[in-house]
Structure 1
Amino acid sequence: MTGKTAGLPELGFDPKAAELFELMVAPVRSWVLLTGLELEIFEHLESPCSARELAGRMGLHPLNTRIFLDAATAGGFLRKEDENYQNLAFVNQYLLRKSPVFLGGMLYNSRYYWLDGLDQMAEQIKKGPLPAQEPKVTEDAMWQTMCQGLAASQRMMITSLAIEAARQVPGHENFQKILDLGGGPGLVGMALVKEFKQAKGVLFDQPGVVREAGKYIKSEGLEARFNTMGGDFTSDDPGRDYDLIWASSCLYFARHDLKAMMKRILEALKPGGVFINLHEGMEKQGTSPSAAVLSMLLTSLRGEPDMMFQKGELARAMAEVGFDPIQTRQVKTPWSVFELELAFKPEA
């Protein structure tokens, strides 16, 4: 007997079943990406190259190199023609070290948070947190990698978003002093200083971070207009009389006393000044945005501090210390959905 099965597509299978099989393959694709980054294979494939040639050049096993390159092609990272492999355009853009928007270092180091320990998930659900395996890197290497990854994401999307938000502020053409709070390499603060020609800026972050940020300031030629402060921005005085303070994905470190943090930010602004803040806002009882929930699953199971704010949590803390008005909207980025807040210090 032939015919359609009730409730199923014409081909006789439920697409959701196909999704389950795709999920089983998804971790393999992730590890193909990470292995390509670890071995720097993508660095050698800007131009077409055979597996044998690549193996000889890099000292790799010829057969397993070919097997891996076929998998990288199937996974959507390479193209293969006449036994030669070559990066797809997005790989050259985001996964080569020479690219100004290189994401490879950040992605590779994020495996500790996103992937390492997946095989221990069931054990941790049954017994509770297991001891964490911290990444074995020097402090200088950690800051360098962190700044490099943040620089790429800031160039890709955050700087333009910050400028667009700042231009919504009445009187933005008169900005004189800008603070980039916890801004890593400081590219957002520098972009704001370049946008508002009369302004000078300050980056306030950990001492190791600002040492690394100095390289970015020099490369932008902004030594005369953009300075740094090294310290603990969750407790130290950031200075006074700022027209604009910018923060993005850094206030988690102050959640132990968020009210005090907001009070310091308020006091650091001029009357009428604005605090512009970009952070995730969890909703649907902690189940959305999905990228944020899934990326923090392993660190949460390990018992590490909660790095997410609930939707509206930061705005409530701002209002509690005296910010008024507060404007909030959601923005979608390649990574996740964020809340963008413009919080004003009342005029004297």
Structure 2
Amino acid sequence: MSFDTQHALQPYWDLAVAPVQADGLAAALELGILDVLTVPHTPAQLAQALSLHAPHTALLLELLWSMQVLERDGADAGAQASDQRYRCTAATVQYFCRDSLAFCGDAWLYRLHALRHFATQLNALVRDGGKAAPYRAANGSNWAAAAQQQIGQEQRAVTMRAALSVMQRIAPFAARATPMNLLDLGGGPGWVAIALAQAHAGVHGCVFDWPETVAVAAANIAHAQLSDRLETLGGDLDSDDIGGDYDLVWCSSVLHFVPDMAAALRKIHAALKPGGVFVCVQAEIAATAGEAARVLPYYLPMRMLGRAVTRQGELAQLLRDTGWQQVEQYGASDFPMAPVQVLIARA
């Protein structure tokens, strides 16, 4: 039987079944299944270890195998699901098992629940208008909790490496010897600033975010033994001083949250030395449907909360309009969630 020809309805059937796959992975994370399956188990062995229902465990493991979350180990491919031995794939061990330094399971669950929380409101929002109810209030304590958990996990697992890749394009940073005063603006748990300081002995600087959030960053900086080179500053970008005399400002997915993006860009410009470099990493909406589809589902909730998500090219033009020079832009897909635009500009 040939499966080469796909019905025109198949993409929509796939949409309907996607929640089953997402809930399968969520169940595996929440029940501790993946942590046990760092070594092979049959469904019966796993069920006994975790006090689960063995027949249903076998069915879930087969689903996870089909999703390439698990692999089958040393059993006849024609054997019954209950007789197979399953273990995590290498990628699952790296990102979804708690002993891994790159564990992102809590971050993934947060994204799942937050997006689902929004989706239940979509019908009413389109019919009646208004703003979406946020999954969690945007206050200092909730940002601190996010920095400790999901944002921290994503920064350690993904953003740190991606930021280092971006910084290789910045001549003073790539030289590795030039002293550099850094501002990690809206830096959350501070892992990007830590990564840049670890990679460049000349980096000194500051992580700016909500006061409750930078307390998390300060603890991470101390743990990394970088307190002599990195400090923290708590405040609100919209209304508080962010310091000055910086050689470099790093800003990742922060400008969505400011009420006046142009005013924020002027404030950042004033905080840099003449010729200083601003690196802004932010999702924008592409002009083609295929590329936009990789961004819009993640950012539709934010847009219905009244946050700004620019169209591709708009942020670069706003930088030019607010006095920035030599604006360079390119796309990157190695940051969390959706593809982003990387903008590099000089004061």
Q: TM-score, normalised by structure 2?
A: 0.84
Q: Are 2:221 and 2:230, in contact at CA under 8 Å, matched by a contact in 1?
A: yes
Instruction: Tell me by how many angstroms 1:299 deviates.
Output: 5.1
Q: Are 1:182 and 1:247, in contact at CA under 8 Å, matched by a contact in 2?
A: yes
Q: Which amino acid aligns with 1:240?
A: G
Aligned counterpart in structure 2 of residue 279 of structure 1, from 264, 282, 285 = 282
Instruction: Tell me by how many angstroms 1:337 deviates.
Output: 2.8
Aligned counterpart in structure 2 of residue 214 of structure 1, from 214, 218, 228 = 218
2:79 pairs with 1:77 = no
Closer, same or farther: CA 125–41 of 1 in aligned 2, 3 Å = same
Q: Are 1:235 and 1:261, in contact at CA under 8 Å, matched by a contact in 2?
A: no
Instruction: Tell me by how many angstroms 1:189 deviates.
Output: 1.7
Unaligned runs of 5+ in 2: 76-82
Q: Which amino acid aligns with 1:74?
A: S
Q: TM-score, normalised by structure 1?
A: 0.84
Instruction: Tell me by how many angstroms 1:153 deviates.
Output: 4.4
Closer, same or farther: CA 171–317 of 1 in aligned 2, 3 Å = farther
Instruction: Tell me by how many angstroms 1:156 deviates.
Output: 5.8
Q: Provide the C-alpha distance between the structure 2 equivalents of 1:309 and 1:196, rounded to a whole number of angstroms.
A: 32
2:204 pairs with 1:184 = no
2:344 pairs with 1:342 = yes
Question: Which SS does the other structure have where 2:201 is aligned?
Answer: coil
Q: Are 1:328 and 1:341, in contact at CA under 8 Å, matched by a contact in 2?
A: yes
Q: Which amino acid aligns with 2:98?
A: R
Unaligned runs of 5+ in 1: 1-9
Q: Say which is worse superposed, 173-182 or 189-198, in terms of deviation.
A: 189-198
1:6 corresponds to: none
Closer, same or farther: CA 155–297 of 1 in aligned 2, 3 Å = closer
Aligned counterpart in structure 1 of residue 32 of structure 2, from 27, 31, 40 = 40
Q: Provide the C-alpha distance between the structure 1 equivalents of 2:3 and 2:68, rounded to a whole number of angstroms.
A: 26
2:265 pairs with 1:265 = no
Question: Which SS does the other structure have where 2:279 is aligned?
Answer: strand
Closer, same or farther: CA 152–193 of 1 in aligned 2, 3 Å = closer
Aligned counterpart in structure 2 of residue 239 of structure 1, from 240, 243, 252 = 243
Aligned sequence identity (%) = 27
Q: Provide the C-alpha distance between the structure 1 equivalents of 2:224 and 2:346, rounded to a whole number of angstroms.
A: 30
Q: Are 1:179 and 1:244, in contact at CA under 8 Å, matched by a contact in 2?
A: yes
Q: Which amino acid aligns with 2:332?
A: V
Q: Are 1:203 and 1:226, in contact at CA under 8 Å, matched by a contact in 2?
A: yes
Q: Are 2:38 and 2:93, in contact at CA under 8 Å, matched by a contact in 1?
A: yes
Question: Which SS does the other structure have where 2:325 is aligned?
Answer: coil
Q: Are 2:206 and 2:231, in contact at CA under 8 Å, matched by a contact in 1?
A: yes
Q: Which amino acid aligns with 2:233?
A: M
Closer, same or farther: CA 314–120 of 1 in aligned 2, 3 Å = closer
Closer, same or farther: CA 28–104 of 1 in aligned 2, 3 Å = same
Q: Which amino acid aligns with 2:249?
A: I
Give the 5 Å matches for 1:116-265: 116=117, 118=119, 121-128=122-129, 132=133, 134=135, 139=142, 141-155=145-159, 157-167=161-171, 173-254=177-258, 256-265=259-268
Closer, same or farther: CA 317–35 of 1 in aligned 2, 3 Å = same
1:3 corresponds to: none
Give the 5 Å matches for 1:83-122: 83-116=84-117, 118=119, 121-122=122-123
Q: Provide the C-alpha distance between the structure 1 equivalents of 2:89 and 2:23, rounded to a whole number of angstroms.
A: 18
1:308 corresponds to: 309
Aligned counterpart in structure 2 of residue 55 of structure 1, from 31, 47, 59 = 47
